[in-house]
Amino acid sequence: MAVAYDPKSPAVLANPYPVFRQLQIDDPVHWSELLGGWVLTRYADVQSFLRDLRFSSSRIAPRMETLSDAERGRIDSLGRALSLWMVFTDPPDHTRLRMLVHKAFTPQVIARMRGRVEAIVEELLSQVEHRGEMDLIGDFSYPLPATVIADMIGVPSENLEQLKQWSDDIAGFAANALSTAAVRQRAQQSMAAMAAYFWELMEVHRRAPSDNIMSRLIAVEEAGETLSEDEIVGTCIFLLFAGHETTTNLIGNGVLAFLEHPEQWQVLRDNPSCVASAVEECLRYDGPVMSMARVASEEIELGGKRIRQGDRVFGMLNAANRDPRQFPEPDRFDIRRQDNRHVAFGFGIHFCLGAPLARVEGQVALSALARRFKRFELQTSELQWNESIILRGVKALPLSWVGS
Ligand code: HEM
């Protein structure tokens, strides 16, 4: 039976899980005219797809062609830097880049951030607590990871607002397989501005290195290998992107899941030590990264279908995380779930480098919310979901609360 999958329909944006289940049953390797690519929904297929290096990441990189004269210069180098984002590279380039970046972005560096994350969480919540209501996204789950990652990279906090504007423009293009020409143009202009900003910042940290990722990327060296200036700028911009909207949506989608399952909120309040498994369940139940795309570098047989060379393929992480073949009762939100091997952070050589940081932020945020607020109430009947095939999250989450 043919299943209609329209990722932009309001019903699917609000709740894609029924159509994912239908696809898992009727058409697990589904050709989507709308997306111009294959859509994989079963856990086993998504895992083997992410492991299979014949599906290329480098060929999926958004290209910044069609530049006007005024936009040349910095953007040329940013266009190159974008194609050097490690998430858009294949081995051997990826192996070298990841190894060098990993040296500057170690679990130890991340562990040192916990205290700073706790301080930012407390500060953000004390600003809203007396009001009795907040927009969880705008007031809390966006500023938290944006401040943390900017701090880690070495971006001064007074530049955050400007960076947010640029990154919104770029994300609007990069995360949407169905972007228009106007969206693309705005993204290019913001790219140029952001590139110029980061090139200047690199000079600042080169002259006066301190304890931040940009300084460490400038200094990193392994077996005679170092990062080029393009790679340093590209990596910092990528970390800024990778490090905020994803975590924003982890907290936003997580709180939404708790709103639908108030008994689980009570479990968390009664058992604060459950917070680590609660974060894993939020990632599984309604994760922030809906899909990962690749391009087939040769003809590949998958689930009885013939994927041609050059075809685009989307591995739907959120569908895989609700596959009943992998998770008993997958639609049940259970913060004490055991053996929760979700693929929300991807799988294989591109497995999320920031997972330890996202986990710390998610755990500190949920713990503080559960400690302070007995019960949340949603202040709207119409949530607006971002129209993205990649990032899943709401634009705003107006909440009020009862009791503490
Ligand atoms: C890669 C998810 C937070 C840095 C990835 C990938 C996923 C992902 C699915 C795999 C991409 C692929 O297979 O092509 C998430 C989620 C997050 C999160 C769900 C939050 C809940 C972060 C944070 C950072 C970060 C906070 C760092 C500041 C990266 C990097 C990669 C990556 C550097 C590229 C790894 C590579 O290509 O080798 N992330 N991420 N992520 N993520 Fe995250």
pLDDT in tens, 232-258: 988 998 998 888 889 999 999 999 999
179 falls within a domain: yes
Confidence bin at 126 (pLDDT 50/70/90): very high
What is the reported pLDDT for 157? 84
Residue 283's CATH number: 1.10.630.10
CA-101 nearest atom, ligand 1: 33
116 falls within a domain: yes
**246 CA from centroid of ligand 1 (Å):** 8
pLDDT value at 123 more than 80: yes
Q: Domain limits at 189?
A: 10-399
Q: Which residues line ligand 1 (CB under 6 A)?
A: 50, 57, 86-87, 98, 149, 239, 242-243, 246-247, 250, 287-289, 292, 344-346, 350, 352-354, 357-358
pLDDT value at 291 more than 50: yes
**350 CA from centroid of ligand 1 (Å):** 8
256 falls within a domain: yes
334 falls within a domain: yes
Instruction: Name the closest-CA residue to atom 43, ligand 1.
Output: 352
Strand positions, DSSP E, 17-148: 29-32, 37-40, 55-56, 133-135
178 falls within a domain: yes
- Give me the mean pLDDT over the 59-82 stretch: 53
**402 CA from centroid of ligand 1 (Å):** 35
pLDDT value at 81 more than 60: no
Confidence bin at 67 (pLDDT 50/70/90): very low
231 falls within a domain: yes
Q: Best substitution site from 217, 246, 290, 343 to test ligand 1's pocket, by max atoms within 8 Å of Cβ?
A: 246
Residue-level length of the chain: 404
**352 CA from centroid of ligand 1 (Å):** 4
Domain total in the chain? 1
Instruction: Name the closest-CA residue to atom 6, ligand 1.
Output: 352
Q: Residue 44 carries which side chain, given as an amino acid letter?
A: A
CA-317 nearest atom, ligand 1: 9
What is the reported pLDDT for 161? 87
User: What is the DSSP code string of 128-152?
Assistant: HGGGSEEEIIIIIITHHHHHHHHHH
Handedness of CA 62, 65, 71, 72 (dihedral sign): positive
CA-240 nearest atom, ligand 1: 28
69 falls within a domain: yes
CA distance 31 to 9: 17
Instruction: Name the closest-CA residue to atom 10, ligand 1.
Output: 346
Instruction: Name the closest-CA residue to atom 41, ligand 1.
Output: 354
Q: Are 101 and 233 in contact (CB under 8 A)?
A: no
pTM of the model: 0.93
pLDDT tens-digit readout, 139-160 = 999 999 999 999 999 999 889 8
Handedness of CA 364, 366, 369, 371 (dihedral sign): negative
155 falls within a domain: yes
Q: Are 102 and 220 in contact (CB under 8 A)?
A: no
Count the Cβ atoms, other than its own, within 10 Å of residue 277.
17
